[in-house]
Amino acid sequence: MTMMTQQPLDQEDEDMLVLQTELVEGPIALDGTPPVEGPRPMEVVGQAEVVSTAENQPVDETQASRFTWAIENFSRQNSKKLYSDVFMVGGYKWRVLIFPKGNNVEHLSMYLDVADSPILPYGWSRYAQFSLAVVNQVHNKFTIRKDTQHQFHGRESDWGFTSFMPLGDLYDPSKGYLVNDTCVIEADVAVRKVVDYWTYDSKKESGYVGLKNQGATCYMNSLLQTLYHIPYFRKAVYHMPTTENDMPSGSIPLALQSLFYKLQYNETSVATKELTKSFGWDTYDSFMQHDVQELNRVLCEKLEDKMKGTVVEGTIQKLFEGHHMNYIECINVDFKSTRKESFYDLQLDVKGCQDVYASFDKYVEVERLEGDNKYHAEEYGLQDARKGVLFIDFPPVLQLQLKRFEYDFMRDTMVKINDRYEFPLELDLDREDGKYLSPDADKSVRNLYTLHSVLVHSGGVHGGHYYAFIRPTLSDQWFKFDDERVTKEDLKRALEEQYGGEEELPQTNPGYNNAPFKFTKYSNAYMLVYIRESDKEKIICDVDEKDIAEHLRIRLKKEQEEKEDKRRYKAQAHLYTIIKVAREVDLLEQIGKDTYFDLVDHDKVHSFRIQKQMPFNIFKEEVAKEFGIPVQYQRFWMWAKRQNHTYRPNRPLTPQEETQSVGQLREVSNKNHNAELKLFLEIEIGVDLNPLPPPDKTKDDILLFFKLYDPEKEELRYVGRSFVKSFSKPVEIIPKLNEMAGFNPDEEIELYEEIKFDPSVMCERLEKNASFRSSQIEDGDIICFQKLHQSLNVEKYRHPDVPSFLEYVKNRQIVQFRSLDRPKEDDFCLELSKLHTYDDVVERVAQKLDLDDPSKIRLTPHNCYSQQPKPHPIKYRVADHLLDMLIHYNQISDILYYEVLDIPLPLLQGLKTLKVVFHHATKEEPVVHNIRLPKQSTVGDVLDELKTKVELSHPNAELRLLEVFYHKIYKIFPLTEKIENINDQYWTLRAEEIPEEEKNLGPLDRLIHVYHFTKETAQNQMQVQNFGEPFFLVIREDETLEDVKVRVQRKLQVPDDEFAKWKFAFLSLGRPEYLDDSDIVSSRFQRKDVYGAWEQYLGLEHPDTSPKRPFTANQNRHTYEKPVKIYN
């Protein structure tokens, strides 16, 4: 499962654009850019050259080739997109797809495309690492090359870069990418042949089975396989108390027991839906990729809690819990502080570490506390000290989480660390005389570990795929557990190939170009599990059926037998035909309850599974046994789907047809080979309630079905069927219909023909004195009737006649309404019509809520996929009908969310609400205010409104509005700026009083930005990190830093001893130049305001000790994922 989401990032190094720093995506992007059309012939005459085809290579080796495509007359190409010639790599057909004028962006868009995807079999997939390049034909070093990897499949048959390079650079003749109007494209493609998994049997080939992926649950599957293959853990799970009355979907222990049992005894891959349901997850959670490390902690904590008070209490601690000691030891006095802490896993640094041992060295590295950072040692005061961590004991099962993801402060985003990082098969944590151990550690325990499993993440920071390499018995044989597939693997594949770093792939035709292809390896180890040698006999123990509770064995064996029956049933399906037989009793039961249109729901009638070769006459004997109707009294009718989409009995079977096999009959009735044979069984019942032979039917006899409508009860029911002569008239059968309905013989009734209901209802009055033939009535038609209108008080009925009732039924919609602030809870439901207008719907909701003004109701639609409210509410009267509010892509929801506003929605929509943080001149704590004004209002109006809500330092104080982002001031809003386009979702809007000193600036005075900062090390570089509240400061022409510091200290009210430790620097584009007290501050700053002035500032360097205030939460614009939660 590969998931990518767009992450806009600035990129300075144009030569080295790889996955972490460039969005890699298929043309069908998540930002809504239009999908690429299906493959079509290339519309360009281009010179294509394939360097090699890499045929007849061993299946387990990577095959690589370079394809070069020279596109002539490039600037004169009018096509939106161009395809290259097809080229072969690894036995597969590929081609390059480009958008010369960009795929809805001002960049060249370029992708690698599976050339034969439309004709490949269902479920195909292939994996490739590749790079795409636009060759600089003047200076090769300026060639732009980007590389990535992808698992291509039916839904993602192309992959690459929507923003490959700016069109301005591409089409600039001086840049060297177009020479003689020819553009040269290169594609380096490396393909590793994989097993044909459609015919692959994991159990047969490996002895193990995999887990099915629910959408984005590969991260969970790899963890579950790792835990399952720790037999001691599996045994403990089996011994957790459960009962036969528990349901797996509501019990985590039972769901996990069930899953482990199936992994142990199933022949095919196992589903995880019961387990995720027991977590309390809905479909949306299963499609949200999470973090393995987080899930591991949450699951183990949940199991530890569930094991309390049972025979397996403490198992999680026994297996996974270790302890380390945090210490601080003074150097010059005899004082030491220690604190013992437990851990279930260890997070090891990858960046800057060559291997696991280097990470452990870094973990126990001693930090010196000295200078400004001295330690306060109780009675000894501030002291130089050493601070560090040592291990008291390690657990039998050691889980190492490798920190492959880090926050990059320079680019303001998470990045994945793909550096090479080695890990040994045997890990000796007693090395170098126990350097990692505390003095209190038990030296008699030998901390020698052997590698049990390697969890791998393949992909980038915004998505990817997880799988695991495990050796279940600690033998030399490794296995790869990749969702449903389990394969045998060698040691190299499990270890060395998961170290990360770069991979060099040799050309398959070295004579052409000796330079190897270099690819960043995006697949690398993410979590390691080691088992202590001295504990492996206890942990790799036998687990058999006697460890499984009897009720669980019985339940799961029964499930297995039912599954096997279904499998056999499916395997033999081609030998059988399903015959569905509808009878009059079905029409009586269904019409008016679940069915209103046509006659019957065929899924609810009796069905027979009959061998195709059985003669139909023999089948009739089966029917006689089942229904007690002798063969001679049975007459079967074929059903037919009419052009108007109705489905009615069409004609009786002929005697000749009844001699055929049921398989032949089914083919006559329906050409679809998977279809069932649907029949209507006509039975005549005499006055003594015994069956009679069916009456003779001539071509003049028409079989009609009758429904009776009662407008008082709003009830439609089936009352019978009858043959009529085609030349007779409806008026002649009125007495018979009155008898069917239980009316007086002379009751006047109205007749309607039910013609169709899809896409709209058609039900028309039937002329009583015209013949059935002239009214085009035929076999299988439905006549609805009711008492004549004149005898009814029409006004008092909602649906006074058959057509209006059927129209109501067709469009009836039960809607569940939920309060928007409680989106998981049904509040109330209303029966509405899909044709109801916006006003109709809000009026009904207002009635339900006892609200006088329906315009104060605001509705929000439901997202059927995420099971959440959509982000934007429905605007006033924008949706014409209820159906428009409920439809979500190709699905119709039955959920709407409501809010009760304090003002009418039309008025609110004309207003803009801004969240403004007010900083008082003297009070420390800022206050958030929501300012709501008409959209055409200005910033000046906002500040005037704010003045009515806040306390000012003096009545004539002037305010200004600032845009603050990541602790920098980016803008002072002009008072005349319209508020309609101001965004308060990403930036903080800060209002403050304008200090008096700023109002009277002299010609040589400067207003500068002042920001707080610390320096942090990231990726082996010192980087500046801003924090706290930025502010403006007036500096005079000849003012020294010493003078400025006095005013800064007074403004910020910092105590002398603390302020003495602060450092002052001039910063431009993130680079600090430290200032001396005698420096003239104004000389560092530009004389005039320029765009980007916020990047030149006076920096105050000191530790960040301020608490994080809630209103700054929206300053982090990148949210990566929801936390993992297990609710039950």
| Mutual angle of helices 292-307 and 218-228, in 10-degree steps | 50
Dig out the tokens for 877 from the structure: 């009267």
| Residue type, position 526, single letter | Y
Give the DSSP letter string of 144-160: EEEEEEEEEETTB-EEE
| Residue type, position 870, single letter | K
Catalytic residue among 107, 150, 218, 290: 218
Contact 551, 243 (CB under 8 A): yes
**Angle 435-440-443 from CA coordinates, rounded to 5°:** 65
Contact 111, 97 (CB under 8 A): yes
Kind of pairing between the strands at 346-349 and 92-99: unpaired
Comparing CA positions, the residue from 373, 409, 405, 415 lying closest to residue 1025 is: 409
| Residue type, position 379, single letter | E
Round to whole Å and give the CA distance between 933 and 944: 11
Dig out the tokens for 596 from the structure: 């209103």
Round to whole Å and give the CA distance between 230 and 232: 6
Round to whole Å and give the CA distance between 896 and 903: 20
Residues in the chain: 1128
Give the distance, in angstroms, between the CA of residue 876 and the centroid of all CA atoms in the same chain. 30
Dig out the tokens for 65 from the structure: 């080739």
Contact 116, 95 (CB under 8 A): no
Which residue do the tokens 């499930």 mark?
559
Round to whole Å and give the CA distance between 969 and 962: 7
Give the DSSP letter string of 943-1009: HHHHHTTS--SSTT--EEEEEEETTEEEEE--TT-BSTT--TTTSEEEEEEPPHHHHT--TT-EEEE
Round to whole Å and give the CA distance between 597 and 585: 17
Return phi, psi of residue 1082, to 5°: -65, -25
> 996: Cβ–Cβ under 8 A, 6 or more apart, which residues?
none
Catalytic annotation present for 829: no
What stretch of H or E contains 1016? strand 1006-1018
| Mutual angle of helices 252-265 and 218-228, in 10-degree steps | 80
- Taking residue 531's Cβ as centre, other Cβ atoms within 10 Å add up to 23
Q: What is the dihedral of CA 567, 569, 572, 574, to 10 degrees?
A: -110
Contact 455, 535 (CB under 8 A): no
Dig out the tokens for 228 from the structure: 């399952």
Contact 421, 402 (CB under 8 A): yes
- Taking residue 53's Cβ as centre, other Cβ atoms within 10 Å add up to 16
Catalytic annotation present for 465: yes
Catalytic residue among 324, 452, 457, 465: 465
With left for phi above 0 and alpha for psi between -120 and 50, is residue 396 left, alpha or beta? alpha
Count H helices and E strands in the chain, helices first.
Answer: 27, 57
Residue-wise burial string across 684-709, b where 16 or more C-beta atoms lie within 10 A, e elsewhere: eeeeeeebeeeeeeeeeebbbbbbbb
Q: What letter does residue 945 receive in the DSSP assignment?
A: H
Give the DSSP letter string of 42-92: --S-EEEEES----S--TTSEEEEEEEEEESSGGG---S-EE---EEETTE
- Residue 1029, classed as helix, strand or coil, is strand
**Angle 20-214-209 from CA coordinates, rounded to 5°:** 100
Q: What letter does residue 1026 receive in the DSSP assignment?
A: E
Terminal CA-CA length for the chain: 27
Q: Which residues are catalytic?
A: 218, 465
